[in-house]
Structure 1
Amino acid sequence: MSAHPLDLERIAARGTPDAVLRVLFRLAIADSLRARLAGGAEVQQASKLALMRRMADIPLATPTDPASHQHYDLPCDFYRIFLGPRMVYSACLFPEGIGEIEAAEEAMLALMCSRAGLEDGQAVLDLGCGWGGLSLHIARSYPRCRVHALTNSSQQVGWVVGRARELGVADRVTVELADVTRWEAPHRFDRVVSVEMFEYIRNHAALLRSISRWLTPAGRLFVQVLAHRSVAYLPEGSADTALFSGGFTPSADWFLYFQDDLRLLDHQIVSGLHYHRTCEAWLSRLDARWDEAEALLTGHFGAEEGRRQLALFKLFFLNSSESCRFEDGDAYLLTHSVFEPRRPPA
């Protein structure tokens, strides 16, 4: 999600109050969407198809090292400050009766497993496993499942391996440091799951073609992405590009166009308000331990760059929170897509 370009770092450096920053983000989001939605459905559809054609002719993804350096190879203890106990660094679920991040993490993990059709005894591939929230949940909840987790961050590898040992599931969780754009599966999987990783892929047709080779004939792919209701676009100068170089905002229907190698079985929407509440929980936890977070990042980057990085994290959370509650959670939202391999003609 990219807001209209703002000199966010300069604004934050002045100590601008959060309430003012939120107003600026809301104005920028409204302005950005007004421009993107101009011309009506006919123009939007033509722009979407033109973007698909352009992205089909470029490499599978942009280089991963910049994003990893900016974001995922930071000290694990920094993420422990604001994430919940399952270290879920993606949208959590806040159904009625759930208000705390701990229960919201578990609720989303359970929903994703249900929609992916997880069953005990399956071989599971987790593409872009992050800090292992879903991989470890599967290993704990399905005691005969074997999980192969893929990440491009050495920090995440170390964290997930350590947590798997602590939870007693290390014999069923394998973690591999790899670039998905050049990776080939060692064997076939019953389920492939990917949570908010497809936003960093450019050539989705190529990745889905690869995944079709990694699935068993009866296998399924589950994908969660953060999308806009109707338009798709590449980021333009915002807190998003500062923290997530190579990111992309798909439209809610984006993956319906990529069914050459996999067939869509299910496609559901989750309100953006759940991501809004997730970001608010992260913000609250970060603010409560700001000095500790600053010490960790200044120790990692140096004083000036550490403070800059911490400010960018806050700006990113504020931007994401305001984007996902825009239009009552109906502008930016989550999609859950489930695919199966295409059967050859009889």
Structure 2
Amino acid sequence: MADAAGRLTKLAEEVLGTPLPVRIRAWDRSESGPPGAPVLVIRHRRALRRLLFKPGELGLARGWVAGDLDIEGDLYEALDLLAGLLWERAATKAPRAAALRALARPELRAAAREMLALAGAPVPPTPPAEEVRRRRGPLHTLRRDKEAISHHYDVGNDFYALVLGPSMVYSCAYWESPDASLEDAQRDKLDLICRKLALKEGQRLLDVGCGWGSMVLHAAREYGVRAVGITLSEEQATFARKRIAEAGLADRIEIRVQDYREIKDEPFDAISSIGMAEHVGRDRYAEYASALYALLRPGGRLLNHQIARRPLADEETYRVDDFIDRYVFPDGELAPVGRTVAQLEEAGFEVRDVEGIREHYALTLRQWVTNLEKHWDEAARLTSPGRARVWRLYMAASALSFERNRIGVNQVLAVRTPDSGTSGVRLRERRWG
């Protein structure tokens, strides 16, 4: 097994039909590839078995989570270089089928035998424990959604505090300047939403997917509203209630562990939904939009802050990202912003403003990655080394996706305009106060 790196580089380039853009360091300490490039470190040959069993993104992710693979050098540069070979190809073809077809070609049969020899035993190893497999039963039932949310958010409030910082806001910040602090940018985002909703003292606000309570706290403290925040995460609810009590606002803010489909309250004056709608699913989105419309009084406003993907020529070919679905956001789905706007309008809303802020999310994610790396040992202790590695990979790859315009994020302001046609939105409302 001498010079495993050189042999792997040659095999990979034969299969892919293009030079590898990164350097490889194998378990035998051999190295191969372009000098000065980021190094893909293969610590154990079982990483190859994972790739042979699941070619492409998922196999790499399993190796990464298990610690069999690592990146030495600039993580963002390495992911950007690999994107064209892995993630972008996966968007147009099934990576497992494509890899197997390539290895089945007569001229590559020797390469296939070589890869199997390098990998050792052909039986694939058990996936890391952090992987979440597809659960049985229909998507987006009350129970299944609660389980999916728990997987992502109930990993420890102390862990999230290390990553998110004092703001405890887990959505795109709003950067007046790239040099601003994360805390200032998150405060500015919350305040922007409050101004778009035109919140006034005494009004009633519903925050759908309230997280650790930052939005309802800001709205109650700065705008004098009465607020209800709902989440499916028990850990988030416990943390939010403690923050609210410490702020002396328990008489004005209520936190519930509740699904948006279970709310039977009297109408609200305003609704914020910040980074929650990605969990709804396309088959349930019309129900989501109609439910929020019904919960607003005539003239009330909705601010829907949501990640969007690029539209496809054939929308039926859309599939959920394997790595994100298995390890990060089970059952999450993205939609183009045009579809989101259309479904809000179909529910009865008048859409008054759409603001794309994808560059802001790239800045936010890079700051979260910095926080995680700064507190790496503690983060791994609070969760597990595998879970910390998942979050680092997912956040860094997501930052690049926003920077490269592969995905975006939008704030959609919609109004339940009454029959009179008076929306309450001023002619120059883009100034937002």
Query: Does the TM-score normalized on the shorter chain lie above 0.5?
Result: yes
Q: Retained in 2: the 8 A contact 1:9–1:308?
A: no
Q: 1:231-277: CA deviations, max 9, x gaps?
A: 46441312354110011111021222222332233232323111111
1:284-295 correspondence runs (5 A): 284-295=370-381
**Greater RCO (CA < 8 Å, at least 6 residues apart):** 1
Which among 171, 174, 197 is matched to residue 116 of structure 1? Answer: 197
Q: 1:266-308: CA deviations, max 9, x gaps?
A: 23232311111111100101101111111111xxxxxxxx222
Q: In the aligned structure 1, how far is the partner of 2:389 from the partner of 2:415?
A: 42
Which secondary structure does the structure 1 equivalent of 2:158 belong to? helix
Q: Retained in 2: the 8 A contact 1:218–1:341?
A: yes
1:187-198 correspondence runs (5 A): 187-198=266-277
Corresponding position of 1:254:
339
1:66-85 correspondence runs (5 A): 66-85=147-166
Q: In the aligned structure 2, how far is the partner of 1:133 from the partner of 1:333?
A: 23
Residue 271 (1) aligns with residue 357 (2): yes
Residue 317 (1) aligns with residue 370 (2): no
Q: Retained in 2: the 8 A contact 1:151–1:179?
A: yes
User: Unaligned stretches of 5+ in structure 2?
Assistant: 1-55, 95-137, 422-433
Residues 337 and 62 of structure 1, relative CA distance in 2, 3 Å threshold: farther
Residues 285 and 95 of structure 1, relative CA distance in 2, 3 Å threshold: same
Which secondary structure does the structure 2 equivalent of 1:64 belong to? helix
Q: In the aligned structure 1, how far is the partner of 2:369 from the partner of 2:356?
A: 21
Residue 223 (1) aligns with residue 304 (2): yes
Q: 1:55-109: CA deviations, max 9, x gaps?
A: xx97677822332332111211111101031201000112236432111111211
Corresponding position of 1:5:
57
Deviates more, 1:254-263 or 1:83-92: 254-263
Q: In the aligned structure 1, how far is the partner of 2:151 from the partner of 2:359?
A: 27
Q: In the aligned structure 1, how far is the partner of 2:154 from the partner of 2:219?
A: 24
Corresponding position of 1:210:
291
Aligned AA for 1:278?
T
Aligned AA for 1:123?
R
Residues 199 and 61 of structure 1, relative CA distance in 2, 3 Å threshold: farther
Q: Retained in 2: the 8 A contact 1:227–1:250?
A: yes
Q: In the aligned structure 1, how far is the partner of 2:146 from the partner of 2:360?
A: 30
Aligned AA for 1:5?
E
Q: In the aligned structure 2, how far is the partner of 1:27 from the partner of 1:107?
A: 38
1:104-143 correspondence runs (5 A): 104-143=185-224
Q: Retained in 2: the 8 A contact 1:324–1:332?
A: yes
Q: How many residues align?
A: 310
Q: In the aligned structure 2, how far is the partner of 1:227 from the partner of 1:189?
A: 26
Corresponding position of 2:146:
65
Which secondary structure does the structure 2 equivalent of 1:150 belong to? strand
Corresponding position of 1:235:
320
1:36-185 correspondence runs (5 A): 63-96=144-177, 98-143=179-224, 145-181=225-261, 183-185=262-264
Aligned AA for 1:179?
D
Corresponding position of 1:40:
none
Q: In the aligned structure 2, how far is the partner of 1:186 from the partner of 1:62?
A: 21
Q: In the aligned structure 2, how far is the partner of 1:252 from the partner of 1:62?
A: 27
Q: In the aligned structure 2, how far is the partner of 1:85 from the partner of 1:26?
A: 36
Deviation at 1:122, TM superposition (A): 1.0
Deviation at 1:34, TM superposition (A): 6.1
Q: 1:26-63: CA deviations, max 9, x gaps?
A: 65444355679xxxxxxxxxxxxxxxxxxxx9767782
Q: Retained in 2: the 8 A contact 1:224–1:335?
A: yes
Corresponding position of 1:23:
81
Q: In the aligned structure 1, how far is the partner of 2:240 from the partner of 2:154?
A: 13
Structure showing greater Rg: 2
Corresponding position of 1:301:
none
User: Unaligned stretches of 5+ in structure 1?
Assistant: 37-56, 298-305
Deviation at 1:117, TM superposition (A): 2.4
Deviation at 1:312, TM superposition (A): 0.8
Q: In the aligned structure 2, how far is the partner of 1:58 from the partner of 1:235?
A: 13
Deviation at 1:228, TM superposition (A): 2.1
Which secondary structure does the structure 1 equivalent of 2:189 belong to? helix
Q: In the aligned structure 2, how far is the partner of 1:167 from the partner of 1:156?
A: 16
> Please, what TM-score do these two structures have when normalized by structure 2?
0.66
Q: In the aligned structure 2, how far is the partner of 1:241 from the partner of 1:71?
A: 11
